[in-house]
Structure 1
Amino acid sequence: MNHCTLARPALALLLATAAMPALAQKASPPPADSTPDRAAINELLAADEYILRIQALDDNGPRINAVIDYDPTAPVKARQLLGTGPLRGRTVLVKDNVETAEWPTTAGSLALKDNATGRDAPLIAMMRKNGGVVLGKTNLSEWANIRSNTSTSGWSGVGGLTRNPYAIDRNSCGSSSGSGAAVAAGFAWGAIGTETNGSITCPASVNGLVGFKPSVGIVSRTHVVPISSTQDTAGPMTRSVYDAALLLTAIAGEDKADPVTLEAKRVKDYTAGLDTASLKGVRIGVLRGAVGARGDVKALFDSALADLTRAGAELVDVEYEAPGELWEAALPVLMFELRVEMDKYLSTRPGTEGPRSLADVIAFNTANADQELRWFGQDLFEQALTTTDAEAYAKNLATLRRLTRAEGIDKLLADNKVTFLVAPTEGPAWTTDLVNGDHYANGIGAGYLAAIAGYPHITVPMGGVEGLPVGFSIMGGQWQDHAVLKAGAVYEKARTAKLPAPTFRPWRAAE
């Protein structure tokens, strides 16, 4: 996407390419003898570099296509905030379903291309108050990947197709595809994604990042284009667990307009204790049934488990298979909530232009089918429009809560006397195919449990398959966000696997 005129493309490309090793080094957690101020100063020095990289690698060169809009004055704003809050001027890219005052919030849809509300979502206002700088908005899977069962993750009518920096012909996963690809490409210190079911953790996994999906209620959802009132949450996507905890600290908080946030049990500083955290003697449940059939993923996972054992953890094999009743209830709940929440959001937007209901969006897409419906349809939107039985919804929601909480994560933790559950997050990134849609690796991961339950889930890079990143998932009980982050920090420190690096070219087999 050409956001602005590039005056010095050759110089920008040279500088951006030359800067890759330095950015990778800065992405690591600060050493024990460094101070947060020193880390913040390093980020200030990198702020100008981020702009050059966006110009060279997103607008030009391999055209990662992760950033929809950006603020060229962000480095100046960053320098002004050096002493402000925990973020101290760090630059953050924001998924384009979260409102920011500077730009329209489109959810990737041409129907919302003029949705300039002039307001910040509370989580963005909180981030600015805590010293964060909004560097720009990122592309996403249109409508957060809830429009069709046959979609291609990373594509939107507004932003086009986002590419994976590790292999640009591979998928960046949805729906926070732009946020994941942008941080992996070195376009910002961190990014904000949103998740309903896998949309933070999957793009983090396939883009070699740390992604943290908080317990639902830790972060406000007000002025975020919605899908689900029971599963939606925003969360951080960064290059280290420390950075994810720091960004979560800056965006977490109560919001009277989002009642579930009033029930949340937070800590003041999610970075506290990360450097001294230990898993010695901690029992961890291993979801062997979520490893899948790929031998290469299993080998990486076994190596990660060995790292945890060396860190002192006690591993316990945990058997779990999702009952069919769970899958029968899951989609009807999302369809009912999608219609209710989307109508509420669209009907209360400032201004009078654009769609005011889900039905209006469907009509817009039909009228603009050549632009919006070329690659896949809107079957889920149409299904949501007819999912109106409130009694059936209440029954299905109760079923989901029971199967993922009381008879799901809560039971697995209690019965096996374990503190966390672990599994691979997702398989390696698949080849993007706009004609046929996504093709995930079957049987890998169990993040749906934490997503539907509304419980915390972190993914941390655990290595690569043929140069493509794969993540390691750690899930915990409700409000155990800090504990899950600390477990992630211990694994990150103990990890022995070599991590792949972005190539910014199509995938090719190693020689």
Structure 2
Amino acid sequence: MTHLLSRLALPFAFFTACAAIGQTPSLDDDHAGPPSPAAEAARAYIEQIEALDDAGPQLNAVIVYNPGAPALAAEAEREGLPLAGGTVLVKDNIETYEFPTTAGSLALKANRTARDAPLIERLRAAGGVVLGKTNLSEWANIRGRTSTSGWSAIGGLTRNPHATDRTTCGSSSGSGAAVAAGMVWAAIGTETNGSITCPASINGIVGFKPTVGLVSRTHVVPISATQDTAGPMAISVTDTAMLLTAMAGSDPADSATVDADRYATDFSAGLEEYSLEGVRVGVLKNQSGSHRGVNALLDIALDDLERAGAILIPIKYDWPEGFWNRSLDVLLFELRRDMDAYLATLPGEGLPKTLSDVVAFNYANGETELRFFGQDLLEASLLATDEEAYREALETNLSATREDGIDRLLAENEVSFLVAPTVDPAWSIDLINGDHSGLGAGAGSLAAIAGYPHLTVPMGAVEGLPVGLSFMAGKWQDHRVLKAGAAYERARSAMLPEPSYLPWSPLSRGNE
């Protein structure tokens, strides 16, 4: 019900927000001249949202959308801007002036800041059109240990277009599902550890987590200043690169982006020409997991890479002792610090100003907020105040993933990239017991904690459930990683599944 009511309330909120910044929106694009392909595409995306999100399988990927998007798309197309009116859905922890930014929580339901995150300002300046906001795992999946990915109190449960009873993964679940279901040209997600690449892999699309510092985090609901970044999600590597080009750049308010302008470029340039001929690629076999279907897909993908000219180098990597406990300690310390700083900037009345306020709100509204799982991680964050222990954990894990991790693996093996399956196939949704672990596929935490680029590209499906192939490299090697992914995309021989919009059934699936 919140899902639909928020849409019905949109026109008033939309006009109010536009008036506040001196813009006048139009809800049609009836101008003299030829029809606008961008406007027609925007209309088609809205029809897809109405057919699949509001009705039909009710995927719950989109929280709110702008019915005036076709007019905005037509205007951007007429102005000849790079994205030419391409529509983009934005994860609902990134501020846009026309919509509330809720992070999926009822505590932020009224969080109308009337400001754009700098990355959204760049998107609009490049001719991108914000079509709406996507659902997410509430608080980007940092609230409780037994959470169900894709669920939030604001948006409900997001469902996977390929199997509606299976997870969309988190926390950019709505962004991944919406792209897979053809509701938008591209979407923006955010990642701290796997929250772009996991939903991209499981929904069968391309997702890119850039080097931390390439894209501004200002006015984005935070978890970790060390690991947080926004990133693009789309059907193809080229579209993903185009969106990244619009998003990337330095922001004086985000010190991590001081060097971003040096590395921001046209990330779509050279993708079609790049060749893997003679390129040495490291294969992280220990991170392929034990699912035989996933490993069969990986074998096909590796054959494709070899046919494209790549030289494959098997690499063994073992996670260091104590790695995962240290990782959680870092996130909990930074969550309290960074969330308090963000909440203090919110201009509205009646909004939480500290993480403690959020915890208190959840207890006061437990029937809705805490119905399916608790908030033990938020509460643990309030107690994570030992800065010396935090610094030690941070430095140890940064070293383990950078100089003793990705940097060492690349140098010692003389390889340009590391590859592995992104994650196991989608698991069954279980709101009572929470997410289930897979069979060990994936090495994305290396890139997430290091702050290095990580691209996932679809490599096929196991019984109709998509699985992606990860490409990782060193800091600021974003463009090279995208080129490698595009080359693999051209060489890929496996068939990709089409969304069924039905629950998974072994009777209706082949062995893709």
2:44 counterpart (30, 41, 49): 49
User: Deviation per CA, 1:281-317, whole angstroms, max 9, x where unpaired?
Assistant: 0100000001111111000001000000000000000
1:411 aligned residue: 408
Q: Residue type matched to 2:255 in 1?
A: P
In structure 1, the residue matched to 2:308 is 311
Q: Is the 8 A contact 1:70 1:135 kept in 2?
A: yes
Higher mean C-alpha deviation, range 91-100 or range 393-402 = 393-402
Q: Of the candidates 230, 234, 238, which is equivalent to residue 238 of structure 1?
A: 234
Aligned residue number for residue 277 of structure 2? 280
Question: For each residue in 1:310-335, what CA deviation from the matched residue of structure 2 results, as whole angstroms up to 9, or x when unmatched?
Answer: 00000000010111132231111000
Q: Please, which of 349, 368, 382 is the counterpart of residue 371 of structure 1? A: 368
Is 1:152 matched with 2:140? no
1:284 alignment partner, SS class: strand
Whole-angstrom CA distance in 2 between matches of 1:154 and 1:211: 17
Q: Which amino acid aligns with 1:161?
A: L
Q: Give the structure 1 partner of residue 441 of structure 2.
A: 444
Secondary structure of 1:81 counterpart: helix
**Counterpart residue number, 1:87:** 83
Moved more, 263-272 or 204-213: 263-272
Match of 2:259 among 256, 259, 263: 263
Aligned to 1:465: 462
The answer on 1:334 being equivalent to 2:322 is no
Among all aligned residue pairs of Structure 1 and Structure 2, give the percentage whose two residues are the same amino acid: 63
Superposed displacement of residue 461, structure 1: 0.2
- Give the superposition deviation at 1:43: 4.6
Output the CA distance in 2 between the equivalents of 1:272 and 1:131: 18
Q: Residue 381 in 1 paired to residue 364 in 2?
A: no
What's 1:425 paired with? Answer: 422
- Aligned counterpart, 1:197: 193
One-letter code aligned to 1:126: R
Matched, 1:59 2:54: yes
Q: Aligned partner of 1:359: which letter?
A: S
Tell me the CA shift for residue 85 of structure 1.
2.6
Matched position secondary structure for 1:181: helix
Q: Who is 1:21 aligned against? A: none
From 196, 210, 217, give the equivalent of 1:214.
210
2:209 aligned partner, one-letter code: K
Q: Secondary structure at the match of 2:322?
A: helix
What is the rounded CA distance, in whole Å, between the counterparts of 2:127 and 2:437 in structure 1? 38
What per-residue deviation string (whole Å, max 9, x for no partner) do you get for residues 324-379 of structure 1? 13223111100000000000000111123210000000000001100000100000
1:171 and 2:167 correspond: yes
CA distance in 2, matches of 1:44, 1:481: 31
**Could you tell me how far apart the structure 2 residues matched to 1:41 and 1:472 are?**
36
Give the distance between the partners of 1:211 and 1:306, measured in 2 at CA.
22
Q: Counterpart in 1 of 2:497?
A: 500
**Counterpart of 2:482?**
485
**Corresponding residue number in structure 2 for 1:347:** 344
> Structure 1: how far apart are the matches of 2:406 and 2:172?
25
Q: 2: CA distance between counterparts of 1:488 and 1:44?
A: 30
> Take 1:42 and 1:287, find their aligned partners in 2: how far apart are those partners?
43
Asked whether the 8 Å contact 2:7–2:65 carries over to 1, the reply is no
Query: 1:42 offset after TM fit, Å?
Result: 5.1
* Match in the other structure for 2:67: 72
- Return the letter of the residue paired with 2:64: D
- Secondary structure of 2:263 counterpart: coil
Q: Give the Cα separation in 1 of the matches to 2:398 and 2:460.
A: 33
1:138 aligns with 2:134: yes
Is contact 1:194-1:233 (8 Å) kept? yes
Q: Distance in 2 between matches of 1:249 and 1:292?
A: 33
TM-score (normalizing by structure 1): 0.92
Q: CA-atom RMSD, angstroms?
A: 1.2
| Match of residue 31 from structure 2 | none
Paired with 2:104 and 2:146, the residues of 1 have a C-alpha distance of 17
- Tell me by how many angstroms 1:442 deviates: 2.8
Unaligned runs of 5+ in 2: 9-34
**Are residues 1:359 and 2:359 paired?**
no
Point out the more displaced range, 385-394 or 453-462.
Answer: 385-394
Name the structure 2 match of 1:225: 221
How far 1:391 moved relative to its partner? 1.0
1:43 touches 1:189 (CA, 8 Å); kept in 2? no
Q: Is residue 191–residue 230 contact of structure 2 (8 Å, CA) maintained in 1?
A: yes
Letter in 2 for 1:231: Q
The structural deviation recorded for 1:44 is: 4.1
Mark the runs of 5 or more structure 1 residues left unpaired by the alignment. Answer: 6-39
- Is the partner of 2:232 in helix, strand or coil? strand
Q: Residue 19 of structure 1 corresponds to which residue in structure 2?
A: none
Distance in 2, matches of 1:50 and 1:357, equals 37
Counterpart code for 2:54: D
Q: Choose which of 81, 91, 98 in structure 2 pairs with 1:102.
A: 98
Give the CA deviation at 1:41. Answer: 6.6
